Amino acid sequence: MDLDLSDEQRLIQETAREFVDREVVPRARDNDRAARFDLELVGRIGGMGYLGAPVAEEYGGRSLDYVSYGLIVEQIGRGDSSARTVVSVQTSLVCGSIERWGSEEQKQRWLPRLCSGDALGCFGLTEPDTGSDAAALRTRAERTDGGWRISGQKMFISLGNHAEVALVFAQTDPSEKHRGIACFLVPTDSAGFTSQEIHGKLGLRASDTASLALDGVEVPDDALLGSVGEGFKIAMTALDSGRYSVAAGCVGICDGCVEASVAYAKDRRQFGVPIASFQLVQEMIAEMVVKRDAARLLVRRAGILKDQGAPNTVETSIAKLYATEAAVDCANLAIQVHGGSGYVDDYPVERYLRDARVTTLYEGTSQIQKLIIGREATGIDAMTPLRAGS
């Protein structure tokens, strides 16, 4: 496996780094403090082509490879995980699903506006009673003359208050279990569709998170993405890309922790010397460097496999598990290096910790990633022990 970057990939990385330092980093603290979903910043990110980077150019994307997409997401994650969440949801979960499963008409209708940032999309899988066990979702879609009527609730949906289109996963026939799930492209101005902002998050305060209610929302037949019964597959395919994106963003958090900690440790003096001179401080920095590099290599491996079109679900889970846990560990260590200063938002490290924390939860918790990895290693599915044993 060739882990080297091409000249073009290096240029993409450098351009993203400069963009993030210029546009994302300077706004991150104020947006976090104000819990502001920064639409102007979303517009600038879209203007750079970062909202649909791997989408084909004919649909408004940049036709970039997955390694390049990961490099962009890593930089945005270094700057602000709230902004990174917009990129991950819009690109991996929404655009990626429409490009892969959509009809030509659906692609033409939605992708150019989503890729440019003119419109936002959201991914409605989680419900109040179903998170990890997504196949048990309760939102119902019932046939009508020429379409579908959808009723149910969705929970913790990123971008849900600002999206123009929601990918809504719904059960068409409960007796079919996961084979009855379908995915619909639901315009959020449809009658019966409402969203409500979720307040009080530990981190990702500048990210929009919503609960959605669908009360008899009527959509035509051509709102169906893929076919009836393919919904679960669509969700899992989307998460293969979404997890990669989250993992890449976490490499950015680790990198931000290293950068901030090295700078602080060389500047801050105690006992007459910079604290970087103390072996115990260097130990913390070394630990962060090792975790960052290991996370980066695992993400790179997953990206290369995606670009090769090779199976990568397990490698993506490994990258997601490692990089998200590494980001939490690095942010915690970075606060320690900063001492009391790390506990206030004059430095980015306390935000890194609050923002990193959700990454071990969403797009499949760390436990779910371990079950995917363990299933591959042992051949035994421990995800549903009761069902498997019954």
Ligand X SMILES: Cc1cc2nc3c(=O)[nH]c(=O)nc-3n(C[C@H](O)[C@H](O)[C@H](O)COP(=O)(O)OP(=O)(O)OC[C@H]3O[C@@H](n4cnc5c(N)ncnc54)[C@H](O)[C@@H]3O)c2cc1C
Rank residues 75 and 158 by Cβ distance to ligand X and give the closer one.
158
Interface residue with ligand X, options 131, 252, 256, 348 (CB under 6 A): 131
d(CA 64, CA 236): 22
Stretch 180-199 residues interacting with ligand X (CB under 6 A):
none
3-class DSSP assignment, residue 189 = coil
Q: Total residues contacting ligand X (rule CB under 6 A)?
A: 23
The yes or no reply on residue 232 touching ligand X (CB under 6 A) is no
d(CA 326, CA 316): 15
In the annotation, is 363 catalytic? Answer: yes
Q: Mark the segment that binds ligand X (CB under 6 A) among 155-163, 182-190, 283-291, 343-351.
A: 155-163
Interface residue with ligand X, options 47, 283, 367, 381 (CB under 6 A): 367
Rank residues 155 and 223 by Cβ distance to ligand X and give the closer one.
155
d(CA 169, CA 91): 18
Pattern 50-89, ligand X, x by CB under 6 A: ---------------------------------------x
Name the nearest CA neighbour of 18 among 44, 57, 52, 56: 44
CB of 330 to ligand X, least distance (A): 20
Rank residues 133 and 346 by Cβ distance to ligand X and give the closer one.
133
The yes or no reply on residue 361 touching ligand X (CB under 6 A) is yes
Interface residue with ligand X, options 156, 193, 244, 352 (CB under 6 A): 156
Instruction: Report yes or no: 139 and 148 within 8 Å, Cβ to Cβ.
Output: no
d(CA 26, CA 24): 6
The yes or no reply on residue 167 touching ligand X (CB under 6 A) is no
Per-residue DSSP letters for 12-60?
HHHHHHHHIIIIIHHHHHHHHHHT---HHHHHHHHHTT-SSTTS-GGGT
Rank residues 239 and 304 by Cβ distance to ligand X and give the closer one.
239
Q: Mark the segment that binds ligand X (CB under 6 A) among 3-11, 23-31, 99-107, 360-368.
A: 360-368
Rank residues 86 and 258 by Cβ distance to ligand X and give the closer one.
86
The yes or no reply on residue 204 touching ligand X (CB under 6 A) is yes
Interface residue with ligand X, options 358, 359, 369, 372 (CB under 6 A): 358
CB of 66 to ligand X, least distance (A): 21
Rank residues 92 and 261 by Cβ distance to ligand X and give the closer one.
92
Name the nearest CA neighbour of 151 among 241, 199, 218, 96: 218
Q: How far is CA 133 from CA 48, 128, 178, 214, 315, in A?
A: 36, 12, 10, 20, 21
Rank residues 3 and 382 by Cβ distance to ligand X and give the closer one.
382
DSSP label at residue 272:
T
The yes or no reply on residue 132 touching ligand X (CB under 6 A) is yes
DSSP label at residue 96:
H
Interface residue with ligand X, options 138, 173, 365, 374 (CB under 6 A): 365
Residue nearest to ligand X (CB): 131
DSSP label at residue 136:
G
Instruction: Report yes or no: 195 and 156 within 8 Å, Cβ to Cβ.
Output: no
CB of 279 to ligand X, least distance (A): 36
Q: Mark the segment that binds ligand X (CB under 6 A) among 49-57, 64-72, 119-127, 373-381.
A: 119-127
Query: In sequence order, what E strands does 127-231 have?
Result: 140-144, 147-158, 165-171, 181-187, 193-197, 209-220, 224-225
d(CA 268, CA 21): 23
Q: What is the dihedral of CA 293, 299, 305, 306, to 10 degrees?
A: -150
Query: In sequence order, what E strands does the chain have?
Result: 121-124, 140-144, 147-158, 165-171, 181-187, 193-197, 209-220, 224-225, 269-270, 273-274
The yes or no reply on residue 213 touching ligand X (CB under 6 A) is no
Catalytic pick among 23, 74, 99, 363: 363
d(CA 261, CA 283): 12
Question: Which residues contact ligand X (rule: CB under 6 A)?
Answer: 89, 122-126, 131-132, 156-158, 201, 204, 209, 358, 361-363, 365, 367-368, 371, 383
Q: Would you please indicate which residues are annotated as catalytic (active-site) residues?
A: 363
